Structure 1
Amino acid sequence: MHPILRRSLFAVTLACLSSVAAVANAADYPNKPITLIVPWAPGGSTDILARSLSEQLTKSLDQPVIVDNRAGASGNIGSYFVAKAKPDGYTLLVGSMSTHAMNPSLMPSMPFKGVDDFTPIALLANVINTLVVNPSVPAKNVGELIAYAKANPGKLNYASAGPGSTNHLSAAMFEKAAGVKMTHVPYKGGAPAVVDTVANQTQVLFSAGTQTLPQVSAGKLRLLAVTEATRTPLLKDVPTVAATVPGYQIGVWYGLLGPKGMPPELVQRLNAAANAALQVPNVKARMESIGVEVLSKTPEEFATTLAEDSVRYGKLIKELGITGD
Structure 2
Amino acid sequence: MPQLLAGRRALLAAPLLAPFASARAQNAEWPTRSITIVEGYPPGGVTDTSSRLVAERMTRELGQTVLVENRPGAATSVATTSVVRSRPDGYTLGMGTTTLAINPSFQPTLTPREPQRELVPVGMVFRTPFILHVHPSVPATNLAEFIAYAKSKPGEITWASSGTGAVNHLAIELFKRQAGIEVLHVPYRGGVPGALDLAAGRCQAMFSAVLEAVPHLSTGATRGIAVTLGQRLPNFPNLPPISDTLPGFEVTFWQGLFAPAGTPEPVLAKAGRALGVATSDPDLRSRLSEQGVELITGDANALRTMLASETQRWGDVIRAGNIRPE
- Tell me, yes or no, whether TM beats 0.5: yes
Distance in 1, Cα, partners of 2:14 & 2:116 = 31
Maintained 8 Å contact 1:115/1:310: no
Q: CA deviation at 1:129?
A: 1.8
Cα distance in structure 1, aligned partners of 2:14 and 2:157: 67
SS state of the match for residue 95, structure 2?
A: strand
Q: Is 1:201 matched up with 2:209?
A: no
Structure 1 residues 22 and 252, CA gap change in structure 2 (3 angstroms): farther
The question of whether the paired residues in 2 share the 8 Å contact of 1:40 and 1:75 is answered with: yes
Separation in structure 1 between the aligned mates of residue 19 and residue 126 of structure 2, nearest angstrom = 34
Give distance in 2, aligned partners of 1:200 and 1:16. 70
1:188 alignment partner in structure 2: 189
* Structure 2 CA distance for partners of 1:14 and 1:165, relative to 1, 3 Å: farther
Kept in 1: contact 2:36–2:67 (CA 8 A): yes
Cα 1:242–1:20 shift into 2, 3 Å: farther
- Closer/same/farther in 2, CA of residues 64 and 245 from structure 1, 3 Å limit: same
Partner of 2:151: 150
Q: Distance in 2 between matches of 1:224 and 1:148?
A: 13
Q: Which residue of 2 aligns with 1:127?
A: 128
Tell me what 2:66 maps to. Answer: 65
Deviation per CA, 1:247-304, whole angstroms, max 9, x where unpaired? Answer: 3232221101111122222111111111211332332111101100111111111111
Map 1:94-113 → 2, pairs under 5 A? 94-98=95-99, 100-112=100-112, 113=114
How far apart, CA to CA, are the structure 1 residues paired with 2:296 and 2:258? 15
Partner of 1:296: 297
Structure 1 unpaired stretches of 5+: 1-11
- How many pairs does the alignment contain? 314
| Cα distance in structure 2, aligned partners of 1:191 and 1:162 | 11
What residue number does 2:92 align with? Answer: 91
- Cα offset for 1:69? 0.5
Q: Tell me if structure 2 keeps the 8 A contact 1:22–1:263.
A: no
Percent of paired sites with the same residue: 35
Q: Distance in 1 between matches of 2:220 and 2:30?
A: 50
Within the alignment, does 1:54 sit opposite 2:52 as a pair? no
Match of 1:246, as an amino acid? Answer: P
Compute the displacement of 1:15 (Å).
Answer: 10
State the secondary structure of the residue aligned to 1:73.
coil
Q: Cα offset for 1:324?
A: 2.7
Aligned to 1:282: 283
Q: Where do 1:14-25 residues align within 5 Å?
A: 20-25=21-26
Q: Tell me the distance in 1 between the aligned counterparts of 2:298 and 2:89.
A: 22
- The alpha carbon displacement at 1:231 in A equals 4.1
**Unpaired segments of 5 or more residues in structure 2?**
1-12
Q: What one-letter code is carried by the residue in structure 1 that aligns with 2:255?
A: Y
Measured in 1, the distance between the counterparts of 2:184 and 2:156 equals: 7
Per-residue Cα deviation, 1:101-135 (whole angstroms, up to 9, x for no partner) = 01111003122122111011111111122211112
Match of 1:7 in 2: none
Residue aligned with 1:35, SS: strand
The 4+ residue runs of structure 1 with deviation greater than 3 A are 12-23, 229-237
What is the aligned partner in structure 2 of residue 162 from structure 1? 163
Q: Secondary structure at the match of 2:117?
A: coil
Structure 2 counterpart of 1:3: none
How much does 1:25 deviate? 2.1
Q: 2:155–2:184: 8 Å Cα contact kept in structure 1?
A: yes
Contact 2:170 2:318 in 1 (8 A): yes
Measure, in 2, the Cα distance between the counterparts of 1:301 and 1:251: 15
Q: Which residue is equivalent to 2:6?
A: none
Which amino acid is the alignment partner of residue 187 of structure 1? Y
* Superposed counterparts of 1:258-273, under 5 Å: 258-273=259-274
Whole-angstrom CA distance in 1 between matches of 2:120 and 2:129 = 25
Deviations 1:161-207 (A, max 9, x none): 11111111011111121111111111111110111111111111012
SS in 1 for 2:287: helix
TM-score (structure 2 length as normaliser): 0.90
Letter of the 1:102 partner, please give it: I
TM-score, scaled to structure 1: 0.90
